[in-house]
Amino acid sequence: MTPEIVKRKIRQTHQLTQNLHPILNRIYLARGVYDAAELDKRAEHLLPYTTLSGLNEAMSCLYDALSAQQCIVVVGDFDADGATSSALAVLALKTMGIKNIHYLVPNRFEYGYGLTPELVEVAKKFKPELLITVDNGITCFSGVEAAKKAGIKVIVTDHHLPGSTLPAADAIVNPNLSGDAFQSKNLAGVGVIFYVMLAFRAYLREKNWFVSQSIQEPNMIQFLDLVALGTVADVVPLDRNNRILVHLGLQRIRSGRARFGIKALLSVAGRNEERITAADLAFAVAPRLNAAGRLNDMSVGIAGLLAENFDTALQIATQLNELNDERRTIETDMQEQANEQLKQLSWHQIESCPSGICLFNQHWHQGVIGILASRIKDKLHRPVVAFALANEHELKGSARSIAGLHIRDIFQAIDAKQPGLITKFGGHAMAAGLQLPKNHLTRFSEAFAEEVTQHLTPNSLQRIIYSDGELSEAEATLDLAQILRDAEPWGQAFPEPLFEGVFLLLEQRIVGGRHLKMKVCWQSGQKTFDAIAFNVDLNDWPNHRCEQVNLVYKLDINEFNGRRSVQLMVEHITPC
């Protein structure tokens, strides 16, 4: 099914600022930015921490631990958000004077997600008096209970959606709690712990802690490279507050002041830190960091982020790069198996597949099923749950959704209608996870398809590509490409500009196995432009009978041997 290309609507038409490029002005308006104040991304425009609930209890626990130099264990998650959250908590608390602090991440293959009773037993080897969860904990009832029974205080910092009840922690900080007044509900886990540390610094300042202990008060800007990476990696919506956080983090990285772990990851990914973009964090840095949690142990990734010199960081980054290469190989095999399964089910064509898709293979790697679900979701424009074996009797599933469907709410609705069908679940609107008995898979698959059908119309299952209109040859300049790059960050819910147009196709060839390299020109123009479309269908391209193409593309800059030129990064290509 060919996607429908729709030009973004603009509800208001006015010039945001006098000197703003008219095309960028149009792009901002199409994304709901109607006030020029929203373009100011200085730190003083971040939302205040004071409106977050649970801070008073959290500050009391943290201060008791600091003043008595108690042992603290940070419990993270096994993805990039969890890794950056863990590193930030450890680093920030050390700058404030904590000496006895450790981090612990559950190995997904042994303990599963979050603070579990089994993980509490592991944490006991450090003899902690305080556990701090980052990017998890809001649904970890039994783990919090086990810690409390052991006499250990627990602070939960999380951003995942809570259930109807909350764990019995000593403090809970989560902007998504009912009644919480923090204006942005889109903080990543790393954003939440950053705000907690902001609050703790202010609390210590009021206590005259830094002066009395002869400790230099930390500048919290130093942690924003971690916040930017975790925020982009977790694909949370880039509302204004998150855009400021990511912008400031990118500035820090570009200025050469990123921590060694991020510098090393950029190095092995072949990225220039001076020209780093949010997309580089999303598609080059985050996958390498995530590879540790997918195939090995995220403790390796956290160690890289905490590295105190570049050589150590580079050794770990090289290891992460090798894990990512292994992950790609596994993913390719799993995609081939999934595509074969879709063909056997007659679901390989969009028109024939159900509204919600569940796939399972006993040989699939549970660390890679989330990526697989995302790939199939992109291909068929359907919400997808990919399952792997958790153990002999249980399945672990990873789900990815499409716009307009809150996937965690779908799981909650199924659980309410058929109690006991799902063992446990959690997550966000666009991504979630669950576990269920293996013999429940057929029932769940049917319930999932039925529930999705009730929430989505046939029109919402039609893939739509939203464009920002056409550019003329005269507008497609290096200056505009640089302006769009400087307008960063782009990302989830604040998408990078996409343009469309019909071009003459002058040259075409396959590079890198599956990428279509082209030379094109505007129909009325004389100048040629390089264009590239990644991962094309080799059954369709190259097409040497095709002389014109309709392209949906991003305006990008190609830098090679010191020369800069405009390049079209093609998102969708259709022969004319």
In this chain, the answer to whether the domains covering 345-461 and 465-575 adopt an identical fold is no
Specify the CATH architecture of the domain 465-575. Beta Barrel (2.40)
DSSP 494: B
The first and second tokens of residue 75, run together, are 């419990």
Does the pLDDT value for residue 565 go beyond 70? Answer: yes
Specify the 3-state DSSP secondary structure of 549. Answer: strand
β-bridge partners, 551: 501, 573
- Whole-angstrom Cα distance, residue 57 to residue 565? 55
Cα angle, residue 33 at apex, residues 31 and 39 outer, rounded to 5°: 120
355 and 452 in contact (C-beta within 8 Å)?
Answer: yes
pLDDT of res. 404: 87
CATH number of the structural domain 44-321 = 3.90.1640.30
Does the pLDDT value for residue 352 go beyond 80? Answer: no
Question: Considering the chain, what is the average pLDDT of its residues?
Answer: 94
Top-level class of domain 345-461: alpha beta
Specify the 3-state DSSP secondary structure of 307. Answer: coil
- Whole-angstrom Cα distance, residue 345 to residue 360? 12
Domain boundaries along the sequence of the chain: 44-321, 345-461, 465-575
Q: At what angle do helices 299-306 and 310-344 cross, to 10 degrees?
A: 150
Using one digit for the tens of pLDDT, what is the confidence trace for 60-111? 999 999 999 999 999 999 899 999 999 999 999 999 999 999 999 987 777 7
Using one digit for the tens of pLDDT, what is the confidence trace for 423-438? 989 888 888 999 999 9
- Least confident range from 272-281, 406-415, 458-467, 531-540: namely 458-467
pTM: 0.92
Closest among 45, 80, 64 to 200, alpha carbons compared: 64
Using one digit for the tens of pLDDT, what is the confidence trace for 279-295? 999 999 999 999 998 88
pLDDT of res. 248: 98
For the chain, what is the radius of gyration of the CA atoms? Answer: 24
- Whole-angstrom Cα distance, residue 27 to residue 9? 10
- Whole-angstrom Cα distance, residue 564 to residue 371? 33
pLDDT of res. 349: 67
